Structure 1
Amino acid sequence: MFDSLTGNGRVWIFASNRKLNESEKEFINEKFDVFCKDWSAHGSQLKASFQIFDNQILVLGADEDFEPASGCSIDRSTAIFQEIDQTLKIDLFNRLNLVFKENSEIVIVRMADIQSAYDSQKISDSSTFFDNSVNTLLDIRTRWEVPFNESWAYAKIKINA
């Protein structure tokens, strides 16, 4: 994951509320190919990479050992995500949508619905939980995907004994 980026990198993670089709993924990848080649902070080129995971999770990474991202450069990246969000009519900015993988499929659960999703076995203790709040390369490599019962979100449910 992000093999071209090393050291103290940062990541920005946005999960779509639905699976992306091939033409949408192509559109997004083309946008970020151009963006990553031109992305700069205070006139200095940033070393960046972009990937789509599981046809639904968009991740932009920057190697901050090479050149740190600035507020203005981060604003430019956010503008690209907003453009994609609006053009494709997807929801990338709802941070109350939690992302799980159950039986190799991405499952989006609204925070308010986490208990009912658990009770109905839409998600389980062993479901993979994507902690999209991580913001470093180290964290995305080591603690982005964790079993649900080892995540911060697990504290949101009540176990019926």
Structure 2
Amino acid sequence: MRSNMRCHRFIIVIGLMALLVAQAGAQTSHYLASDPAVREMRESLDMPRPSTAGDAAASDSLPMTAPLNVSGIWHLELTDGTSIDLALNQSDDVLFGRGNVTAPPGLKQAAVSGMVSGSNLKLDVVPTDGMELYAISLDVSKLPLAGSYTRFGVYIEPQSGTARAAWMPY
């Protein structure tokens, strides 16, 4: 009886091994396994990556500089007579905040978002009525702070001009 039981176990183990071998063979015949593009992708993912950790020459060639901090209170005068006052916040190179746009017929609250890259400041100011957008670009590397703007409106043609700015950091 014991030898019969051992024989059954042996047959079960052999059967399981045959099943595993057959399943492994079936996976390689799957249509994705024979696709050259998939094979190349897998090979490229398995390739070793060059390591720059601890390599002083590699870290010296790519200086990591923090973006210029331009958060604070901003006042802008546009050539069309519009003035814009902003409370500008910053996270890394991303700018955001709120303020007021003063232009005929009066004062409107506004939201602002933008980016700083090097000494270039790009702002998009949108009054809360959503009827216009002021796209402003400033060079903050020299005084006076100045740049250009384009005003886009729902019922008007785009208008461009120059912008002068004053800034008080937080």
Shared fold per TM-score greater than 0.5: no
TM-score of the two chains, using structure 1 as the length reference: 0.24
TM-score of the two chains, using structure 2 as the length reference: 0.23
Higher helix share: 1
Higher strand share: 2
